[in-house]
Structures are given as C-alpha cells and as structure tokens.
C-alpha cells in the first residue's frame, strides 16, 4: 500500500516547478487578455480545466523561456520574494498597470530531513486555476488600454542574490493614486503566492 504522505509529498524543487508553471500561464494570460500582442500570436492550451492562451511569438518566447528558468532556480533556492509585471504606455513610459505576485517560502530543506510538505497536487492545481480564472475575468473591471503598451518584469530577491549579467536594476514602477484589486492566493505548502493588480484610477 502506498504511503499517502509520500504520494502527496511536495519538495522544494517540485514546488518551484509548479510555481514556474503558474507564472508561465499567468504572464501569458495577462499578455493575451490585455492585448499587448496580436491575438493570432497565441495558441490555445487546455490546462487546469481552463482554455488558456500561450504565445508562439519567437521573440517573446526567447525572452520568456530563460526568464522562467531563472525564476524556477530562485524559487528552488528560496530567494524569490516578489515578481511584478508592469504595463506601461510606449510613448509616455507611464505605468498604467502593475500585477504583483508576493511569494512566501516555508522553511523547507533542499534534501534530507524536513525536505518536503504534504499537499494533494490536484488541490494545488485547483487553487492555481482559480487565480488564472480571475486573471481572465479581470478585463471586466480593468480600464481599457487605449494607447500602445509594452511590459516589463521586476524581480525582488534576497540581498545576496546574483542576477544574470544582462539584467538591470530598476525602480519599483509604482502608480500614483492607484486602485488595487486583491485576487485569490494559492499555496503548494512550500511556496505561497498572493496576487493583486494595481491600475491607474480613472478620475
């Protein structure tokens, strides 16, 4: 008989892979929903019981793939504190939208004793699905992006974290007088991710 604890054991590395997968679909969903790239540069994928859109734009993939690998590495090293996706107007550089994912990491060892937590993977994927569903539904309350916009990703890590050479330091890209909507959170039992979106209030 399989020990239930072993069956549902989530290791630091396994959790990092799950959270990276969430960011892959989450960032792609935001790019698609906010029409930052043409709709025909995305393909539909069924995941978590949802129809999600993932880019097949070669340039965007060339940015996303190494970026997500780096995110997974930092998650596995317990160094990633926050990931922020910033949407700005191309002409004015004004930040109009800011998707913030705060990451809490439990004190789990990389191997040996205390090397895993227990949580049903189906439950984790259901929680991820709930957040992705909210991202998809966000177009109902977010202001229309009337000007051409681009995006950037900010990473908050521990002080002694070594960043890749081609990455640059950045400010926080805050939005003055912004509205904030708190979305659902999910937990792998190793990593917890809280999501909110801030946007420029339309006075």
pTM comes to: 0.91
CA distance 95 to 120: 39
- Report helix, strand or coil for 191: strand
User: DSSP E strands: which ranges in the chain?
Assistant: 9-11, 42-47, 50-55, 80-89, 95-105, 116-118, 149-157, 178-187, 191-200
Q: What is the CATH number of the domain that holds 146?
A: 3.30.900.10
Which pLDDT value is given to residue 185?
A: 97
Distance of CA 116 to the CA centre of its chain: 23
Report DSSP state, residue 18: H
Which pLDDT value is given to residue 1?
A: 39
Domain range for 111:
4-200
CA distance 172 to 154: 8
Which pLDDT value is given to residue 132?
A: 97
CA distance 85 to 98: 6
Number of domains in the chain: 1
Distance of CA 195 to the CA centre of its chain: 8
Per-residue pLDDT for the chain (203 aa), expressed as one digit of tens each?
A: 344 444 578 899 999 999 999 999 999 999 999 999 999 999 999 999 999 999 999 999 999 999 999 999 999 999 999 999 999 999 999 999 999 999 999 988 777 667 788 899 999 999 999 999 999 999 899 999 999 999 999 999 877 666 666 666 777 789 998 999 999 999 999 999 999 999 987 75
Angle subtended by helix axes 121-137 and 12-33, to nearest 10: 20
Both tokens assigned to 127: 């929680």
């Amino acid at each position: 008989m399989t020990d239930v604890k072993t069956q549902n054991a989530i290791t630091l590395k396994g959790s990092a892979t799950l959270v990276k997968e969430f960011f892959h679909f989450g960032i792609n969903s935001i790019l698609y929903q906010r029409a930052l790239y043409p709709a025909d540069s995305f393909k539909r994928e069924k995941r978590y019981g949802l129809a999600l859109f993932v880019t097949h734009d070669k340039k965007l993939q060339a940015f996303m793939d190494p970026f997500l690998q780096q995110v997974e590495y930092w998650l596995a090293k317990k160094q990633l504190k926050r990931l922020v996706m910033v949407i700005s107007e191309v002409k004015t550089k004004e930040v109009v939208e800011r998707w913030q994912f705060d990451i809490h990491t439990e004190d789990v060892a990389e191997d040996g004793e205390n090397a895993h937590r227990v949580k049903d993977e189906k439950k984790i994927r259901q929680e991820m699905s709930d957040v992705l569903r909210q991202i998809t539904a966000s177009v109902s309350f977010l202001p229309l992006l009337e000007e051409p916009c681009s995006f950037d990703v900010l990473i908050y890590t521990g002080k002694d974290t070594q960043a890749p050479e081609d990455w640059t330091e950045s400010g926080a890209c805050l939005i003055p007088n912004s509205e904030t909507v708190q979305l659902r959170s999910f937990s792998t039992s190793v990593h917890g991710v809280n999501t909110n979106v801030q946007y420029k209030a339309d006075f």
